[in-house]
Structure 1
Amino acid sequence: MGKFTGKMIISDLDGTLIPRGGVISAENRAAIQSFVAEGGRFAVATGRTPEAAKGYVEGLPINAPSVFFNGAMLYDWGNGKVLKTLPLTAGDADNLWPAFAQKCLRTFPDACFEIYTADNCHVITPADNDDPRLPHEYYRYAHTNLEKLTDTVQTPWLKFFACDKHEHLEEYVKLAEQMGTAALANGFYSEDNYYEFVARDVSKGAMTAAIREQLPGIEIIACGDYLNDNEMLAEADIGVAPANAHEETKKMAQYIGCNVEKDLLAWVIQEIL
């Protein structure tokens, strides 16, 4: 038993635990280590894959189920085991998602489109369109012809991702509404130039609720900075946003902390807990 027994922190990565383009600070690492040593539970919640997160969180004492693909996967970090997946394409008997993807390729020739499956990130657009972040990430990705991914029963899609100018993404969302795929999904901006679709009832918040069921009685402190974190902050007992979070996300938080560059997790443990 320790002073943080019965408490859990679940944190977004980019813009919350990690400054954008940076790494986890020594101060945040030390604070998380101390929190867990005193009985606390720590988890991450991210749009990344487990493989993509590993390069950043290696060495952190993650000891609670963690959320990946913005809520489409619940993962046991310690045992390297997938606990649950909620595919975007489940129940898509009419194969609307492959048809939508094909239409997107024709309509938005400058965009980067990525299909995430449980084991890979498939980029279905030309390499010239790649999101500039890709070479700097800690995960495998493959340029894949869409035709190889159209059997969504054999290869379920967990997430459909678009990177483009914001004004183009607004038209992309309208196309999803027209074709009926938006009605099958939870869609959101995860950055100004990123738009993602996961399954309709999927979110970081829904998976946080699933974690609560596995750890009854736990008090959850959630930290996040962008729109895809809003439902997680609402689900938590305490929601925290950094001072430089999206304005709509700050409205969902009970506490506004320091800027992410000033060690938000250390601030949470010192000032709130």
Structure 2
Amino acid sequence: MGKFEGVLLASDFDDTLVSSGCVLSPGNRAALEYFTREGGRFTVSTGRAKRTFAPYVSSLPINAPVVLSNGAVLYDFAAGRTVVDLPLPATAAEDLSALSREMPGLGIECYHGDDVYIHRPNAHTQRHMEKVKTDWTQADLLEMPTPWSKAVLQADHSLLLQAQAAVRERWGDRYEAIFSNAVLLECTARTASKGGMVLKLAQLLGVERKDIYCVGDNQNDIPMLAVSAIPFAPANCAQEVKDSGATVLKSCEEDCIAQIVGILDMRYPS
């Protein structure tokens, strides 16, 4: 029985586990292989959808289902099946259409299964699509197939702050609306967050709350850090993450995941 049996480590993907090249560093790889070899369960909790995360799965030492779409989906890549699915409510297209009419500068990116649709693409949506390396279809919100796992609002930060306030004020009982970076506002179903899905995963794996550890760099990771026995963040994290009380480590480029495994190595002696 390994020293990390019954321990779950969940990491954000972009700018936490990997840097801009999306390649796992040798230091992080060695640490995670040691962690999983000793019985630990490692997974990724990302805002990426299945389509945009799948190309990287085979290169990562994941041995548990993955939290996708900012907590809307739990997917088991080893088994090729969805474990939990929390789609946006049926009102999403109508609600976001109303918001778009009021704020025409919003680009809105919607995920239906493995397909990506974009309403009013702008410079931010173009850059995001280039980063996640996927194709997409332009369509009006009311013409897109549903349900959606999530919708990502994209604009300058000042406009997104207005959009976030509007979503929370009008439909706070329907949606989560949280930033994954300054120009991407993630909208998921009210019950869907990284934190909530990590707890569901821990329950499925039989992991106790005291043995859950999470690391992330941006606002959408804060709900996940809130369920972590020790909330970890790389030095390159957003100020809001630092303000949340996270334990700030080395930067993403300096193998912060390996540093976490080193900390766990001391917390779980043989």
In the other structure, the counterpart of 1:250 is 242
Distance between the aligned counterparts of 2:245 and 2:264, measured in 1? 13
SS at match of 2:105: coil
Question: In the superposition, relative to structure 1, how do residues 233 and 166 fare at CA in structure 2: closer, same or farther (>3 Å)?
Answer: same
Whole-angstrom CA distance in 2 between matches of 1:135 and 1:261: 21
Q: Secondary structure at the match of 1:18?
A: coil
1:22-101 map, 5 Å? 22-89=22-89, 92=90, 95=91, 97-101=92-96
Which of 148, 154, 161 does residue 163 from structure 1 map onto?
154
Question: Deviation digits for residues 144-183 of structure 1, max 9, x if unmatched?
Answer: 332322x7xxx212211111001111222243356x3333
CA RMSD of aligned residues (A): 2.2
Matching residue's letter, 2:137: A
* Structure 2 residues not aligned, in runs of 5+: 266-270
Please tell me whether residue 102 in structure 1 is matched to residue 91 in structure 2. no
Other structure's SS at 2:188 match: strand
Are the equivalent residues in 2 in contact too, given 1:46–1:68 (CA < 8 A)?
yes
Q: 2:199 aligns with which of 183, 202, 209?
A: 209
C-alpha contact 1:238 1:253 (8 A) present in aligned 2? no
CA apart distance, 1:266: 1.0
- CA displacement at 1:129 relative to structure 2: 6.5
Counterpart for residue 215 of structure 2: 223
- Of 221, 228, 240 in structure 1, the residue corresponding to residue 232 of structure 2 is 240
**2:123 corresponds to 1:132:** no
> 2:168 and 2:259 mapped to 1: Cα distance?
41
| 1:258-273 paired onto structure 2 within 5 Å | 258-273=250-265
Q: Using the TM superposition, give the Cα deviation of residue 54 of structure 1 relative to its aligned residue in structure 2, in angstroms.
A: 2.4
Q: Could you say which residue in structure 2 is the equivalent of 1:120?
A: 115
TM-score norm. by structure 2 comes to 0.88
Aligned mates of 2:58, 2:97 — CA distance in 1: 37
CA distance in 2, matches of 1:271, 1:128: 41
Pairs aligned (count):
263
Q: 2:129 touches 2:135 (CA, 8 Å); kept in 1? A: no
